[in-house]
Structure 1
Amino acid sequence: MERLEYEFDGGAPVAPRNRPTLTGVLGSGNLEVLVEPADLGGRVRVEVQTAAVGFGAIWQAVLADVFARWQVGDIRVSINDAGATPAVVALRLDQALSDHTGGGA
């Protein structure tokens, strides 16, 4: 297992009415995403636990793309990965952020 951490400059803080949101299923080729409100000075903090070791640069690229589209702030994202492809990672993050914010990118 590898643990990766990333931070991104956020956009608008997510409304405080939002509660933690869990999306996805931890299973082969998939992942689960937990999105929680957090006082991070407008930033987004992402922690990834992954079984696929050595893909930090790919995670960075996928996450940067997602948070360029989702201008959110003050959230913590925890990802438990079981070997998901970059497309599945982006899909699950889009689903989790949409559920958490109540809207689209």
Structure 2
Amino acid sequence: MERIELQYTGSKTARNRALSGVVGSGDMEALFEPGKGNKLSVSIKTSVDGSTPRWQRLFDRISITGSLPSGKLVIHDFGATPGVARLRIEQVFEEASHD
């Protein structure tokens, strides 16, 4: 198990807590809690050791294509592929932004 902590600039407001996915074989869970300020704190617990560069690249790509919300994102990863990881992250951010 590896624990990864990342920080990004959060420039978008999200009002709601949100959950996407489930922890299970080949999948992951993403939990978001909105916050004040301009930071997105990302905490990842993963079963894949040595995956910090992969997660950094994934969040770098997401932040380039759109703004990130301010708050805290907690990810419990059980070997999700990068495509599934991105899908879950985008789902949780979309859910958090709904009124």
TM-score (norm 2): 0.91
Q: Which residue of 2 is the match for residue 87 of structure 1? A: 83
Residue 2 of structure 1, CA deviation: 0.6
Q: Please tell me the root mean square deviation across aligned C-alpha atoms, in Å.
A: 1.6
Structure 2: how far apart are the matches of 1:68 and 1:46? 16
Structure 1: how far apart are the matches of 2:64 and 2:72? 16
Structure 1: how far apart are the matches of 2:26 and 2:5? 21
Paired residue type of 1:7: Q
How many aligned positions are there? 99
Aligned residues of 1:66 and 1:93 also touching (Cα < 8 A)? no
Unpaired runs of at least 5, structure 1 = none
Unpaired runs of at least 5, structure 2 = none
Residue 71 of structure 1, CA deviation: 1.0
Name the % identity.
32
Paired residue type of 2:11: G
Q: Which residue of 1 is the match for residue 92 of structure 2? A: 96
Residue 52 of structure 1, CA deviation: 0.4
Q: Which residue of 2 is the match for residue 9 of structure 1? A: 9
1:57-96 to structure 2, matched below 5 A, reads 57-96=53-92
TM-score (norm 1): 0.86
User: How big is each residue's C-alpha offset from its partner over 1:25-53, in whole Å with a ceiling of 9 and x where there is no partner?
Assistant: 100110000010123x3011100000000
